[in-house]
Amino acid sequence: MRTRIGMAVLALALVAGCGTQPPPPPVTVAPVEVTPAGVKDVTAGATQGVDDCNQEASLRPGPLPAPGAMPAGSTMAAIAERGRLIVGVDQNQYLFGYRNPFTGQLEGFDIDIARQLARAIFGDPDRIQFRVVAGSEREAVLQSGDVDVVVRTYSINCERKSKVAFSTVYFYADQKILVRRDSEIRSAADLSGKRACAVSGTTSAAKLYGLDPRPTVLGAPTWTDCLVMLQQGQIDAIGTDGVVLAGLAAQDPNVVVVGPNISVEPYGVGIKQENVDLVRFVNGVLEGMRDNGTWEALYNAHLRSFGPSPGPPPARYRD
């Protein structure tokens, strides 16, 4: 009897001994979280929007000289002398200025506007040299004279106008928002408590930040970074010009552009402030494009996916 109890105690002790031996801890890792490089929280903005400089008014054009016969001593004559027009453009802006991956060529509405300028100087739209400029360098390359003009979804505003000159408005871009098709967001007012994305340093980012109620605004290096985040569920909306959004929406059937306009952005051709003759010349070329149907033709060639042409924006002058 005693031995049996002893055996039982021993067995119990053995079992207990086994039980207290903890297994070696397995390796555990957290799921991988990815995010595009350079995405930051936007924490400032919405200071502009005040038009205290009559921003859309530009210089009235004189009579347009014939191609190949620029008045001597003018900026255009210097460009003609050089043999090519140097234009600052974007190559990532679908439908406006982008590199067609199949042909490798730059294409878009902005690119064709620039070609019209080259045609007006040389009689040949291909006498042109494109220089890719980042959004933040546009003023600098004009001021240094590295480029003659900038045609790059360039919104006219008073702050920029204190540094560079603008042509008349050649396109009005409506600022809207892009969301997933199944999203409940239907306008900027629904963005409360949501996460919205725009390119850092743009007027769009500032405007999103200025919304009331204010969403969490993330600033990404490029618009396609915003689209990646929307596709990966990291953000709920992208807010910027309707044309940019349409360019993004064209790349994904699961997203839609929604809402009334947050604002309207006037695009103009950027020119060095001192080159007054070039400003008048460019306005003359734009005037001609409005009148002879070229503007309509370019709209139909590039932007018809937005719907029927609203017609060219009327020019405003301040002489």
Residue number with CB closer to other proteins (48 or 91): 91
Segment interacting with other proteins, rule: CB under 8 A, options 73-81, 102-110, 162-170, 280-288:
102-110
Specify the stretch interacting with other proteins by CB under 8 A; choose among 8-16, 131-139, 153-161, 185-193.
Answer: 131-139
- 122, 130, 267, 299: residue in contact with other proteins (rule CB under 8 A): 130
305 binds other proteins (CB under 8 A): no
Q: State phi, psi for 283 to the nearest 5 degrees.
A: -60, -35
Counting contacts by CB under 8 A, is residue 29 touching other proteins?
yes
191: closest CA among 206, 220, 211?
211
Q: Stretches 10-18, 88-96, 179-187, 205-213: which one binds other proteins (CB under 8 A)?
A: 88-96
Q: Does 154 bind other proteins (CB under 8 A)?
A: no
Give the strand pairing for 237-241 and 195-199. parallel
- Taken in order 178, 183, 189, 193, the sign of the CA dihedral is negative
Determine, following the binding rule CB under 8 A, whether residue 292 of this chain makes contact with other proteins.
Answer: no
Does 144 contact other proteins by CB under 8 A? no
State yes or no: residue 237 binds other proteins (CB under 8 A). Answer: no
The verdict on 65 binding other proteins (CB under 8 A) reads no
In Å, what is the CA distance from 217 to each residue of 116, 222, 238?
A: 38, 14, 9
Out of 22, 31, 233, 308, name the contact with other proteins by CB under 8 A. Answer: 31
Residue pair 202/261 in contact (Cβ under 8 Å)? The answer is no
DSSP letter for 194, please. S
Site size with other proteins, rule: CB under 8 A = 39
CA 110-112-116 angle, 5° bins = 115
Q: What are phi and psi of 259, to 5 degrees?
A: 90, 160
92 CB-near residues (< 8 Å, 6+ apart): 98, 99, 222, 223, 224
Among 1, 5, 16, 32, binds other proteins (CB under 8 A): 32
Q: Kindly list the residues in this chain that would bind other proteins in the complex (CB under 8 A).
A: 25, 27-29, 31-32, 34-37, 89, 91-92, 94, 98-102, 104, 106, 129-132, 134-137, 221-222, 224-225, 227-228, 231, 248, 251-252
